[in-house]
Copies of this chain bind each other. A is one copy, B any other.
Amino acid sequence: MSRVEIVEVGPRDGFQPVGPFIPTEVKLNYVARLAAAGLHRIEIGSFVSEKAVPQLADTPELLFLSRDIPGLRPQVLVPSLGRGIKAFEAGAPELAFVISASPSHSQANVRRTPLEASAEYLQLLDRMPKDVRIRLNIATAFDCPFDGRVSAGTVRTLLDPLVAARSDVEIALCDTTGRADPAQVTSLFGDLMARFPQNVVWAFHGHDTFGLGLANAYATWTQGVRVFDAAFAGLGGCPFAPGATGNIATEDLVNMFHSMGVDTEVDTVALQGIAEDGCRIPGALIGGRVRDAIAAHRQLDLTRGGEPNG
């Protein structure tokens, strides 16, 4: 059976826009439950300005406290050389370095041009210990909240020197605004996979703002992508990209892949419980459909006769 890896980004991308501070022990409990449900790779937070994202100010503490969670591969987002160094010095085993393809979003998000951010990424590669893993998150790879659609050429030009410097990297193309469509993701991934036939591992980070999260994930999968970001309960959004609410819900993505006969190693019953609880986090911005569909079917006490017959 084929399989995909789902990177659970709820504790970072999902919690980030939540107003009321989620206590560290509550975050820790979600991370532990998600890992126990089979979501071993979790973006637990980010090393960013506490002023810009107060919700994630406790990421160093959470990183420390989560060290004993069985099977957990914690990942943290970093937006600069300085934050990257802080992250691996704090013991982060895996960094996600974010660079925006669009100049306007790059300025709004990290107050750097894409080229300046790229230069810091290259410096970080030199400074990082060899045993720390890194992935590249290309934000606004498809569409920018300020400038509109981003061309494939923009992403190609951005990636050329980065892949040349290190080709055995994981690169996540991020649909920050949720405005990418299946034809565009098919085209951009196809284009980049042909241009960079090196050891790049490709990943897709989608948002469901316009309901296209699963359609885009499916289209991406048909191109051969096998790593997908998602957030339980469809939590998410980017405070710097107005209207960009809603990551793909992990439970929706897992349901799609399982229906297709693609394994995720995720325990759907456990995930359903975590997603239902996630909806009740004060201030949570939620999304997805599978959670409510399962709850409705449970309420109807629907008993389906036997196993699927083919």
Contacts and interface: CB of A to CB of B under 8 A. Distances in A.
Given A219-B218, A296-B245, A309-B148, A252 B302 contact: no
Nearest to A243: B297
A148 B308 CA distance: 5
A293 interface: yes
A151 B183 CA distance: 29
Contacts of A210: 252, 255-256, 259, 289-290, 293
A145 interface: yes
A149 B256 contact: no
A145 B306 CA distance: 11
Contacts of A249: 211
A260 B183 CA distance: 6
A256 B178 CA distance: 11
A225 interface: no
Given A148-B305, A208-B289, A289-B208, A153 B310 contact: yes
Interface string A211-232: 1111101110000000000000
Contacts of A252: 210-211
A57 to B, nearest CB: 26
A70 interface: no
In the assembly, how many copies of this chain are there? 2
A179 interface: yes
Given A219-B218, A261-B183, A296-B245, A289 B211 contact: yes
A242 interface: yes
Contacts of A306: 147-148
Contacts of A162: none
A36 interface: no
A93 interface: no
A181 B211 contact: no
A260 to B, nearest CB: 4
Given A212-B214, A215-B214, A148 B256 contact: no
Interface of A: 104, 145-154, 178-184, 208-215, 217-219, 242-243, 245-246, 249, 252, 255-256, 259-261, 287-290, 293, 296-297, 300, 302, 304-310
11 contacts: A147-B309, A148-B309, A151-B309, A182-B218, A184-B259, A210-B255, A210-B256, A210-B293, A211-B211, A211-B290, A212-B259
